[in-house]
């Protein structure tokens, strides 16, 4: 993704919090690093911001599966099977956006 190795542990922890809990908790834990200047590189801040921006977490997948299952109850098992695939695709999309942002910020 382009995060410095010294900040990789923090970035991984925040992305894990976003996936397991939600993006609001991850941003809340990210905010102290933004308030102290010089703690993180500008590129790292941008990459983490992009990586946390999205709804790819288990709670959101539950909402989507529940909503679509209510619309089409007969296809609920099929929808539930696609939930984890949708989570994987959404997570990869978020991480790809963060990688592209890191690439362009690195060029500047």
- For residue range 36-69, what is the model confidence (pLDDT) as tens digits? 878 899 999 999 999 999 889 999 999 999 999 9
Full residue range of the structural domain in which residue 29 is found: 5-107
Please state at what angle helix 23-35 crosses helix 42-52, rounded to 10 degrees. Answer: 160
Q: What is the Cα–Cα distance from 75 to 62, expressed in whole angstroms?
A: 15
Interval 10-40: pLDDT, tens = 999 999 999 999 999 999 999 999 998 788 9
User: Residue 69 class from Cβ within 10 Å (0-12 exposed, 13-18 middle, 19+ buried)?
Assistant: middle
- The total domain count for the chain is 1
**Angle at the Cα of 15 from the Cα atoms of 37 and 103, rounded to 5 degrees:** 70
User: Strand (E) positions, 1-108?
Assistant: none
Predicted TM-score (pTM) of this structure: 0.87
């Amino acid at each position: 993704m382009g995060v410095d190795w010294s900040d990789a542990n923090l970035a991984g922890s925040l992305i894990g919090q976003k996936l397991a809990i939600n993006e609001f908790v991850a941003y809340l834990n990210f905010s102290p690093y933004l308030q102290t200047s010089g703690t993180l590189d500008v590129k790292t801040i941008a990459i983490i911001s992009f990586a946390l921006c999205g709804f790819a977490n288990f709670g959101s997948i539950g909402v989507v599966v529940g909503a679509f299952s209510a619309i089409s109850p007969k296809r609920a098992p099929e929808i539930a099977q696609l939930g984890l695939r949708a989570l994987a695709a959404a997570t990869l999309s978020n991480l790809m956006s963060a990688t592209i942002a890191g690439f362009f910020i690195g060029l500047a």
